[in-house]
Amino acid sequence: MIGILYIFHGSQKAEKNQAAMDFIQRLEKRLDPKFYQATAFLENHPDTIPSVATEMINKGVTKLIVVPVLLFAAKHALVDIPAALATVKTQHPEVQFSQTETFGSKKGSRQVLLERFQEVADAYPDEQLAGMLVAHGTKQTDEPQQVLIEIAKEIQQQVGFSIIPTSLKGQQDYLLDSKKLVIEKQKIVIVPFFLFDGHLITIMKNKLNETFPTTEITITRTLEFDPRILLDLEQIVNEAVACIQ
């Protein structure tokens, strides 16, 4: 039996974890009902990766597809998830494991991000806007920043104003990038490239308010579990199933 294990980072806010599970339930209904589908979290939730994976195997899963519901292939996808599954793999050598790609570079996310910037542009047609696409970021691999640069360039061409690709904890510093735009006296539009509005977004907003107390900065909604992302995840799962069968 094929099993699909969706993995989220996990939020300190219980309602966000519930929203993640509700989101996946919508995806589960779009896929073949013969698949055994389950959700686990890296942290902040009792449904851990080892416990859920083991339960799936005990219930008959022989081919386990691991789907990181993460934007980029950074530390969580490349290191933390494989580490969490290492013992399970050792205990169950008869089970075939595979891990899919992440979804942040796909069409659905790009559409939502473009829409966020365009909404602000439509609301301020006479303003000189300067955009910032802000992701979590990582200093351990270059790939996420390269994807962010490519997406920002694509959006910039469509909205007609500059989009700076930056991050909270990565190679670029969103506060330094913000200071440059404040000096240039442009109206700053920040689109957080996150699946939902969590504690990191709160920290970002607080730091921006402290650093620029007299500057109006527009911060849009995150991806907010947009249904267009479901289509990307569905495609990722179906491609993985085709490879594993």
- Contact status, residue 105 vs residue 73, Cβ threshold 8 Å: no
CA distance 218 to 220: 6
Q: What is the CATH number of domain 2-102+226-244?
A: 3.40.50.1400
Return the CATH fold of 107-219.
Rossmann fold (3.40.50)
Per the CB < 8 A criterion, the answer to whether 68 and 76 are in contact is: yes
Query: 3-class DSSP state for residue 232?
Result: helix
46/216 Cα distance (integer angstroms): 40
Q: Give the Cα separation of 58 and 185 in Å (integer).
A: 60
Q: pLDDT 10s per residue in the chain (245 long)?
A: 999 999 999 888 888 899 999 999 999 999 999 999 999 999 988 999 999 999 999 999 999 999 999 999 888 999 999 999 999 999 999 999 999 999 999 999 999 999 999 999 999 998 899 999 999 988 777 888 899 999 999 999 999 999 999 999 877 789 999 998 888 878 999 999 999 988 889 999 999 999 999 999 999 999 999 999 999 999 999 999 999 87
pLDDT tens column, 167-191:
998 777 899 999 988 888 789 999 9
Do 169 and 204 touch, CB atoms closer than 8 A?
Answer: no
Q: Which of 25, 67, 40, 37 is nearest to 240 (CA)?
A: 67
- For residue 20, which phi and psi values (nearest 5 degrees)? -65, -45
Domain ranges of the chain: 2-102+226-244, 107-219
**In CATH terms, are 2-102+226-244 and 107-219 the same topology?**
yes
User: What is the rounded distance in angstroms from the CA atom of residue 211 to the CA atom of residue 74?
Assistant: 29
Q: Are 31 and 44 in contact (CB under 8 A)?
A: no
Contacts of 207 (CB under 8 A, 6+ apart): 175
pLDDT of residue 156: 96
Which among 146, 114, 147, 144 has a CA at the least distance from the CA of 131? 114
What is the torsional sign of CA 70, 74, 75, 79? positive
Dump pLDDT digits (tens) for 36-81: 999 999 998 899 999 999 999 999 999 999 999 999 988 899 999 9
* b/e code 200-209 from CB counts within 10 Å (16+ = b): ebeebeeebe
CB atoms within 10 A of CB 45: 19
Cβ neighbours around 214 below 10 Å, total: 5
